[in-house]
Amino acid sequence: MNKILLTTIFAGALCVMSPALAQNARPFVVPELTSWQGGKGNFVPSGRIIVQDRAFTAAARSFLQDYSTLLGKNLTIVSGKPQKGDFVFAKAGFAPASKTDTLGTEGYHLNIADHITLTATHPTGAFWGTRTLLQLSEQTQSHSIPQGVTADRPQYALRGFMIDAGRKYIPMNYLHQLVNERFEGSSDWLFIGVDPDGALMFRTAQHLRPAREYIRMVPLKSPEGMAEVVQKSVENRQWFEGMLNPQLRIHQGGRVYFQSDYFVKRPVETNASLLREIKDKRFYLFVFVKQRNPIPDYPPKSITGLGSGYVGTEQGLTFRAGLRYDKKIQFYDFVRNGDKFEAELVEVYDTLLRTTRYVSRHLHPEGRVTGLKAEIWDAK
């Protein structure tokens, strides 16, 4: 009798001391959610996606692909009524909890319960909503998501962040990781800036240009694909650096605009500083002698030249600041053809700058032919 009584009292004490399930705290995502009303429990994915408006099909397919890439789990787009564990894409108005008047073009609403309903007024908002879902999904091994409700929209029209690569070494694989693996937040651009004295500042014969780059990164199909690109880039750079006496010729038909003729790599004392520049900064200057020096092995009295820092590419070479004959005739990208590097300029219309510009034909084969060509060869 005493044992039964004690057990009953102890069990009752446990019932009194057990706390009720607390509401879920605001989850961590980048950028922080504008609002959050925590629920209780977690959403557990079933592997199904339901699209209730065709306008959001593209956002749903992007989410499906990124979910598989990031988490290694497959989702399937199906039709029918939402069930437990489903991701549902709906246009604002389908879900009673949506706030159609405050979402704007880029806002979205998430109702995370036994199934998730993502509502938006525009496909852009739906896409940003999937970026939040990806961040939430990777925070647990089961890919469960805390239940709750959020109405989120960007505070600024342009969102992103800057990396200053001039004062600190930023490895390229970190940038790839940032963009491909961790850049799921609602940021739409990445700007890389450098210090004027940094390695990405290139001095040419006539121009000084800040190395300001806007980069577009696309995921490679496989690690093997990246290895192949890197290998070809290294081979092309080494081929150029292995040239004993590289020379440059720029012409249009029978008219020659520039043709270098100076043996830059001559192993003489007067060339020592230039040779260090080539090696340490991967900077090359193609020189045309205007007036020679009567003293043998002494630098010419008057020269002109075109130069730039360079890097190897999968196709050939890129001169980062450009080999600039004038404001319009500028060569950046060369294709390796046998033992030469060649470039042909075509004219294209730049929709951003609203003007025409010259680019290499192998990058824009649709461009208007100009006949402007450049070759780099080894005049041994």
pLDDT for position 172: 60
User: How far is 183 from 176, CA to CA, in rounded Å?
Assistant: 9
Q: Which two tokens stand for residue 347?
A: 């004219």
268 pLDDT band (50/70/90 cuts)? low
Percent of the chain with pLDDT strictly greater than 70? 71
User: How far is 275 from 260, CA to CA, in rounded Å?
Assistant: 17
Question: Looking at residues 148-164, what average pLDDT do you find?
Answer: 78
Please, which residues have CB within 8 angstroms of residue 1's CB and are 6 or more apart in sequence? none
pLDDT for position 211: 34
Closest CA to 178 of 166, 192, 168: 192
Question: Looking at residues 10-35, what average pLDDT do you find?
Answer: 68
pLDDT for position 165: 59
17 pLDDT band (50/70/90 cuts)? very low
Residue 96 has pLDDT above 70, yes or no: no
Residue 224 has pLDDT above 70, yes or no: no
Q: How many CA atoms lie within 13 A of 1 on its CB side?
A: 0
Residue 223 has pLDDT above 80, yes or no: no
Residue 232 has pLDDT above 90, yes or no: no
Domain spans of the chain, in order of start = 18-152, 222-378
pLDDT for position 190: 47
Residue 145 has pLDDT above 60, yes or no: yes
Please, what CATH class does the domain formed by 18-152 belong to?
Answer: alpha beta
Question: Looking at residues 94-116, what average pLDDT do you find?
Answer: 76
Lowest mean pLDDT segment, chosen from 101-115, 185-199, 259-273, 359-373 = 185-199
pLDDT digits (tens, 9 = 90+) for 280-299: 677 888 988 888 888 876 77
Residue 123 has pLDDT above 70, yes or no: yes
218 pLDDT band (50/70/90 cuts)? very low
Q: DSSP for 186-243? A: S--EEEEE--TTSTT-EE-SS-EE---EE------S-HHHHHHHHHHHHHHHHHHHT-
Percent of the chain with pLDDT strictly greater than 90? 38
93 pLDDT band (50/70/90 cuts)? low
Residue 29 has pLDDT above 80, yes or no: yes
pLDDT digits (tens, 9 = 90+) for 348-371: 886 656 778 888 998 888 889 999
Mean pLDDT for the chain?
A: 78
Lowest mean pLDDT segment, chosen from 8-22, 34-48, 199-213, 225-239 = 199-213
Residue 335 has pLDDT above 80, yes or no: yes
Helix ranges, the chain (H): 2-17, 57-71, 123-137, 172-180, 223-241, 272-281
> CA angle at residue 86 from 80 to 89, to 5 degrees?
75
Question: Looking at residues 262-281, what average pLDDT do you find?
Answer: 72
Closest CA to 58 of 137, 131, 123: 123
Position 19, amino acid: P
Residue 166 has pLDDT above 70, yes or no: no
Residues counted in the chain: 380
Residue 199 has pLDDT above 50, yes or no: no
Residue 313 has pLDDT above 50, yes or no: yes
